[in-house]
Every structure is written in C-alpha cells, then in structure tokens.
Amino acid sequence: MATAKQEAGAKKAATKQTTAGTGIHAPVKPSADLGAIVGSDSLPRSEVISKVWDYIKKNELQNPENKREILADDKLKKVFGKDKATMFEMNKYISAHLTKA
C-alpha cells in the first residue's frame, strides 16, 4: 500500500505531465520577423518572452527615463509595428507573431 507521501508525489507527477504542453508551456512557432530575434525553432511561449527580453536588454532598448517603455530597433519595429511600446503592450504584439507548433 502506498504512503500518503508517495500518493502525493504520483499526483504531482501526473499534473505536471498534463500541463507540460499547454498554456505558456505549449510549443509555438515564431513568424519570420519574430524569428529574427528569438530563432525560427518551435519553443514554449515562456522561452519566446525570455529571449525577447534578453534581446531588449542586450541592445539597451529600454527607455532610460521610463523602464516600462521599449524603444524598438529595426527588428522590433517589424514585430511591434511602431517605434515604441510598453512592456504590457509587448505581449500583445508578440502573440500576433506566434502560431501553434
């Protein structure tokens, strides 16, 4: 007979398996414009956001006077469709460049 601790571990493992490919962890395919920033391979949405932030920080694209504002370079302009966007708007623009893998 399984102990309560073993049953809890089995339940947690089962939950992890069902959520691994859904929501923010579901694999997505970036558009060509977004792929120029994050790569063209399918990857989880969470990784896409992380790679975009890495790109923004590496290229110093945050407005120094307002860190919530992203000043788009040529590559990000293709994703945002404009010269600047807030970090909250950014997710909306990125979503438009993702399809289910």
The per-residue pLDDT for range 22-50, each reduced to its tens digit, is: 788 889 999 999 999 999 999 999 999 99
Q: In total, how many domains does the chain have?
A: 1
**Does residue 46 lie in a domain region?**
yes
Which CATH number do you get for residue 38? 1.10.245.10
**Does residue 40 lie in a domain region?**
yes
**Does residue 11 lie in a domain region?**
no
CA distance 79 to 97: 7
**Does residue 48 lie in a domain region?**
yes
**Does residue 19 lie in a domain region?**
no
**Does residue 1 lie in a domain region?**
no
**Does residue 14 lie in a domain region?**
no
Its pTM stands at 0.77
Query: Each residue of 44-98: pLDDT tens digit?
Result: 999 999 999 999 999 999 999 999 999 999 999 999 999 999 999 999 999 999 9
Domain that holds residue 79: 24-100
SS3 letters for the chain?
A: CCCHHHHHHHHHHHHHHHHCCCHHHCEEEECHHHHHHHCCCCEEHHHHHHHHHHHHHHCCCEECCEEEEEECCHHHHHHHCCCEEEHHHHHHHHHCCEEEC
**Does residue 72 lie in a domain region?**
yes
